[in-house]
Structure 1
Amino acid sequence: MPEFDQIDLFNYAAYGNEDDPEWDDIRNYIRSNSNASKEYEEIKKNLSNVQPKRKQRDYGRPNRTETNVSGSEPNSPKQGDQDKKWWSVFLGE
């Protein structure tokens, strides 16, 4: 049976799927190794504490509802720029 390290356990905790046969080896390793099982449970617990905070974090970007609709912001596109298609930049139109 292959040996797995803490990174493998973390990847399984974060991205693993109980129904996916690709994860069979690591599932068997966790079931057969009590230390790995304890470490996996600890990682899962820490992941559940971290992930919701990450999703709720505001990265300083203003919401669409908070921006000024008139386009007076320094980085907002001008009215004429909104009519152009994305490929017009490459075609020089």
Structure 2
Amino acid sequence: MIKLAIIVALVAAGYWYYSGAWQARMQTPEQQAQDNARLMERCMREEGRMAAGAGLAGMASETGDLQTLCADKLALQMRDGQWIPR
């Protein structure tokens, strides 16, 4: 009975890994580029909000170029109009 429970648990864990973590790695380049673009958009919005909040609080903030800041933070670079990993 214990052997059966262990086998069922291993099969369930294998299915969970294959359907989740493994499939996430199997993205097409277009899907990865879309995900990277979403990450950049979200980062730039958050950094913009933080800079605005710092300005309202009377703190000096040097935001600089948000796109460059987020690209460095996420380790992405723009190539052929798409954000790709460095």
**Normalising TM by the smaller chain, what interval?**
0.3 to 0.5
Query: Relative contact order, CA 8 A, sep 6+: which one is greater?
Result: 2
More strand by share: 2
Taking structure 2 as the reference length, the TM-score comes to 0.33
Structure ID, larger Rg: 1
